[in-house]
Structure 1
Amino acid sequence: MMSTETNEPVTHSTEPVLLSKREALARALRNASYEILPFKKTEAAVLEHVPQDVALTVTTTEAKGLGPTVDLAVRLSRHGYTAAPHLAARLVRDDAHLADLVAQVREAGIRSVFVIGGDAGEPAGPFPDALSLLRRLDEIGHPFETVGVGGYPEGHGHISDELIEKALVQKAPHATQVITQLCFDADTTVRWARGIAARGVALPVRVGIPGAVSRQKLVRITAGIGLGQSARFLKKQQNMFWRFFLPGGYSPNKLIRRLTPSFADPQSNLAGFHVFTFNELEKTQTWRKEWLARLEEA
């Protein structure tokens, strides 16, 4: 049975599990995954601050290509982490390149990937989008038990809502979970998740939320990923930046509280949090531990 990349045993019961809001939120936070960027100091920061029971995804940037992403995922996997590389379809040059990437991660024992289209202006090879790469992975017989694809509760900056939702329906048979982009409105996320379920996408949804990120860190991150990539990142995340640069910065706590009732709903397809850490790993881990401690004391 395919894993949904949580840290709890897979059960085979089809009966909905009734949880209190506190229990549901605690489970979502315990099973949170962290998204990290493949920078020079990332490996050391993960080893110092992130426990091995936290699943990781490693992003890809157009400026650095797929190499650093796969290399970091391989190294972290050998340290005992569940580390899923982002495979950006538009950066895969050809079948030989894809076979090499799959061989590297298979050798390291990696069983999870996150397949995206990527932001490159022109595809480097025959894979213009995530769907084409997912289909090819199935054709060559990939080893992955967990395959994540992206979800867009607030739409996509360059693709119409109709096309992006149609693409998700087409990608769903090739995937095991959906990870959403950042959305700061809980009602929007919940409506979107119910909408894709109504269209037949039965995959569990991991809700993308920001970690405990400082505005200074965001400035450094965008400066470090390359001018063109930064411009696209800023354009796509301008709502996030506006919120982070408010007086006092931004805290995800209100968003988490507003999402809690849906996590407690046994009919909900919300399965956990996916935390965009922007490599603020110490602060993010401390923030998550403090939340869990408060919930245990309640």
Structure 2
Amino acid sequence: MSPGPTAPVAVGTPLLADFSLEMTAKDVPRLEEAAALIPAGTRVNVTFLGNEDLELRRSAARAVRRLGFVPVPHLSARRLGSRDELEGFLAGLREDGTAEHLLVVGGDPATPHGPFADALSVIRTGLLREHGVRHVGVSGYPEGHPAIEDTVLWSALTDKHAALAAQGLAGSVITQFGFDVDPVLTWVEQLRERGVEVPVRIGVPGPAGARRLVTYAARFGVGTSASIARKYGFSLTNLMGTAGPDRFLHALAARYDAGRHGEVKVHFYTFGGLRATSEWIAQFR
């Protein structure tokens, strides 16, 4: 018997075969707890938070490598106080053998702490390649950014990838997490129409308490509480349960077309729940 129209579509292997995870520099104990559940060689992004210093970030990237995964340190342009600070960070990663993959973001501060106003200004220094960086990820915002116009976002994204290509650096895009597949895949199509053919890692919230999901979404300007509740299947009057990305991933698998969307993978934002996310992925796959 063929499945009915509401039967879930199996999530294709390409989408989950090479997923990546997110952690903070303080999450090393959580990563160690979850390590046995995570496939060897998985990319693990290490965020660049304002309350974590350089040594803590370096130590976290070293731990990712020690556990058999690929460290992808973040670099927040607006949090850098000087060019020397940038060079010191890159030199430390190179010394540790963790510099090959890097994610460069603009960062949260409204006013830059130093000379770098955005990710593009960091890329244009030429220092990344000099310090052994070979793969550079940048951010994408399928549902927009609360403080930046769409035209500016698109221009910045295409300029960053042109700058990376000019320096012979491989590029990729990691999107902000979302709850609705349609605007995400529409955005990917628009990216391809602009001639950007690099891999895209679609941001997905890992399993988390419903209240936490709504809080994070509000912080990053992703959708509204009502739309999140509808898409994740929980009630705003009862935010004590846990929601997982099942619906999102099934919808992504159903709508994904390699011919239109190119190379697409999944990136899980764990919100500190590395073990919970890793267990969920293992069971879901």
- Smaller-chain TM-score range? 0.7 to 0.9
Q: Is residue 2:228 matched to residue 1:239?
A: no
- Residues 86 and 114 of structure 1 are in contact (CA less than 8 Å); yes or no, is this contact kept in structure 2? yes
Structure 2 CA distance, aligned partners of 1:202 and 1:191? Answer: 15
1:113 is displaced (CA, Å) by: 0.7
Contact preservation (8 Å) 1:88, 1:116? yes
Is 1:289 aligned with 2:278?
no
Selected match of 2:267 from 263, 270, 274: 274
Match of 2:184 in 1: 189
Give the superposition deviation at 1:71.
Answer: 3.1
User: What percentage of residue pairs aligned between the two structures are identical?
Assistant: 31
Distance 1:218 1:192, change over 3 A: closer
- Which stretch shows the higher mean deviation, 208-217 or 171-180? 208-217
Partner of 1:26: 13
For the Cα contact (< 8 Å) 2:19–2:43, is it kept in 1?
A: yes
Rate the CA distance shift 1:167–1:119 in 2: closer, same or farther, 3 A. Answer: same
Deviations 1:167-197, CA, capped at 9 Å, x for gaps: 0000113151000001211110111001011
Question: 1:244-255 maps to which residues of 2 (within 5 A)?
Answer: 246=236, 247=238, 248-255=241-248
Alignment counterpart, residue 139 of structure 2, candidates 126, 146, 150: 150
**CA deviation vs aligned residue, 1:202-225 (integer Å, no higher than 9, x gap):** 111110000111247669xx8xxx
Distance in 1 separating the partners of 2:16 and 2:128: 35
RMSD: 2.5
Aligned partners of 1:62 and 1:120 also within 8 Å = no
1:134 to 113, 118, 123: 123
**Aligned residue in 1 for 2:232:** none
| Separation of aligned partners in 2, 1:286 and 1:83 | 20
Contact 2:198 2:263 in 1 (8 A): no
Q: What are the equivalent positions in structure 2 for 1:160-171 lying under 5 Å apart?
A: 160-171=149-160
Asked if 2 retains the 8 angstrom alpha-carbon contact of 1:25 and 1:264, the reply is no
Distance 1:142 1:216, change over 3 A: same
Unaligned runs of 5+ in 2: 1-8, 165-169, 230-234
Q: CA–CA distance in 2 between the matches of 1:136 and 1:47?
A: 35
Matched, 1:44 2:29: yes
Q: Which residue of 1 aligns with 2:67?
A: 79
Match of 2:87 in 1: 99
- Count residues with an aligned counterpart: 258
Q: 2:6 aligns to what?
A: none
TM-fit CA distance, 1:272: 0.6
Scaled by the length of structure 1, the TM-score of the pair is 0.78
